[in-house]
Structures are given as structure tokens and as C-alpha cells.
Amino acid sequence: MKSLANKVVALTGAGSGIGRALAIELARKGSHLALADVNADGLQETVEALPPGATVSTHIVDVAQKQQVYDWADTVVKQHGGVDVIINNAGVASQCSIEDISYDDFNWVFDIVFYGVLYGTKAFLPYLHQRPEGHIINISSVNGFFPFPGNSPYNCAKHAVKALNQTLIQELAGANIHVTSVHPGGIKTNIVRNARHIKALDGTRDAAEAAARFDKIASTTPEKAAQTIVSGILKNKQRLLVGTDAYLLDGLTRLFPQRFSNLVGRVMLRGARPGDKSSPAHRI
């Protein structure tokens, strides 16, 4: 897509972090926005942060609820006259081992992070086909190609999003719909603050401590992430890494797929073991 001006963009998770920054960046490019989130206050703050004159509608949508996502797609088309771009960005995380996590907690993450993206893709696809050019942007993560211990539902869901994106790219090759699989590294947002801190493996005691630690190591701002994503859309990138840490992880994973994973697991969990004074890292 060469220009986003006057394009209708539907965006989930627009009430915070990367979603908010994307809404602002897209409004600057002249896009018409249909912003969705479960958090009404967050959405309102995003609207207030948009440049004057932006065309925007807001929608309370829980992306884990299939019918809500399909109803939203219909509403967007009614209100904006069509839709050119869907960005499936909403996400949540949790901290717990595979052994200890309940199925309810596992499904909470998986339903939002994977099924939310699947519903958003399938609900909007028929409408994208009606436009001269369409674009699907699904936010995966570095966790979509590299798992971190204590994040199993997130790792699995983000790998599934990556697989969904690659399959879409294959299946839509003959259509005028582009697909971008986005893999951010650490972005300084509320993702850890909003996570279910069930029983962290990395030694952190609660969500506030985990968030403070995450804020120290997350190397990219949401604004920079949004600029990279928008520039990736304009270049029709199929796979987009966001942040220097994402490039580093990608390179090390290609070079030493299993040994690097084992090393990260050992380093991250070291602090959780009795008598170990090292500081474990934390990543989403």
C-alpha cells in the first residue's frame, strides 16, 4: 500500500501502548480510524491524543468474542463506507510455568492473542476483497519465533499468529491483499503491567516489580514501534522485526536454534533458584 491517506484502518488494542501510538501515526498519515479496545477509558485517551481533524470512530470490542469481532467489522463498513486495512494488535500475557498454569489462564491468553487475531482476519477479509487494495497486519512478537520461559501461552499463541500470517501470505498471493507479520522486541508499554502475574518463574514477586524490570530492558518506545510498523505497511513488508533486540534475537536464533534457547532459559531462571544472586531478565 503506497499511501495510507483516506484509507479506512481498523485497529484493535487501540487503548494503550503500540495500538495508541499506531492510531496517532496513522492519523498523521491521513487514515480514517476505527479503533477498538475493551478499555473505554483507554480508547478515549487515545482519541484525545490524535491530531486535530482526525476521522475516528471508537468501538468496545472484546477480540476473544467471535461475534463481537464480526459485528464490529460490519459496523466499521457501515460507518466508514468500507475498510482497507485491519491491524490485529490487541494482546495480553501471563507469567507462570506450563506445569502450574491453569487451563483457564492459558486459554485467557490464547483466546485473545491467537483467536482474536484469527477472528479479526476472517471477519475483515471479505470486506478487504471489495477494495482495490487491502492490507492485514497481525502483531506477533519475537516470542513468535523464540520462546521465553514462564510465558507459555503467549509463546504458543504468538507462534500460531506467525503461522497464520505465513499461511495467509501463501493463500493471498494472487489477491490484492498484502499481509505483514510483525515481530516486535521489547516495547515500553503496559503489557507486563496488564499481565496475569500467576507465579513468575523469573523471581519477580508481582506485576509491579515485573513491569519495573521490563521497563528497564524494553529498548523501543511505542512511538518508534508505530513508525516502523507504518513504514513496513507502506513498503508491503511481509515480515517485520521491530527494535534492535528483535534483530539480535532473530540472528542468534538462526545461528544457534537450540543452544541459544537453552542458554536464555538458564540465564532467565537463574535468579529464581535459591542462593543465586544474579538478576533474571524478563521479556514479553
Ligand X SMILES: NC(=O)c1ccc[n+]([C@@H]2O[C@H](COP(=O)([O-])OP(=O)(O)OC[C@H]3O[C@@H](n4cnc5c(N)ncnc54)[C@H](O)[C@@H]3O)[C@@H](O)[C@H]2O)c1
Active site residues: 154
Q: What count of residues does the chain have? A: 284
Residues 6+ positions from 87 with CB-CB distance below 8 Å: 9, 10, 11, 12, 19, 22, 137, 139
**CA pair distance 184, 199, nearest whole angstrom:** 25
Shortest Å distance, C-beta 251 to ligand X:
17
Pick between residue 31 and residue 189 the one whose CB is nearest to ligand X.
189
Shortest Å distance, C-beta 2 to ligand X:
25
Chain positions 25 to 54 lying near ligand X, rule: CB under 6 A, are: 37-39, 42
Strand bridging mode 8-12 / 32-37: parallel
User: Residue from 27, 112, 156, 233 that binds ligand X (CB under 6 A)?
Assistant: 112
- Confirm if 60 and 47 have CB atoms less than 8 A apart: no
Strand bridging mode 134-139 / 177-184: parallel
**160 is a contact residue toward ligand X (CB under 6 A):** no
Pick between residue 84 and residue 111 the one whose CB is nearest to ligand X.
111
Distance of CA 248 to the CA centre of its chain: 19
Shortest Å distance, C-beta 213 to ligand X:
13
Sole window of 61-69, 79-87, 95-103, 121-129 interacting with ligand X (rule: CB under 6 A): 61-69
Residue 96, beta-bridge partner list: 151
Q: 226: helix, coil or strand?
A: helix
User: Residue from 91, 150, 232, 280 that binds ligand X (CB under 6 A)?
Assistant: 91
Site residues (vs ligand X, CB under 6 A): 12-13, 15-19, 37-39, 42, 61-64, 89-92, 112, 139, 141, 184, 186-187, 189-191, 194, 218, 284
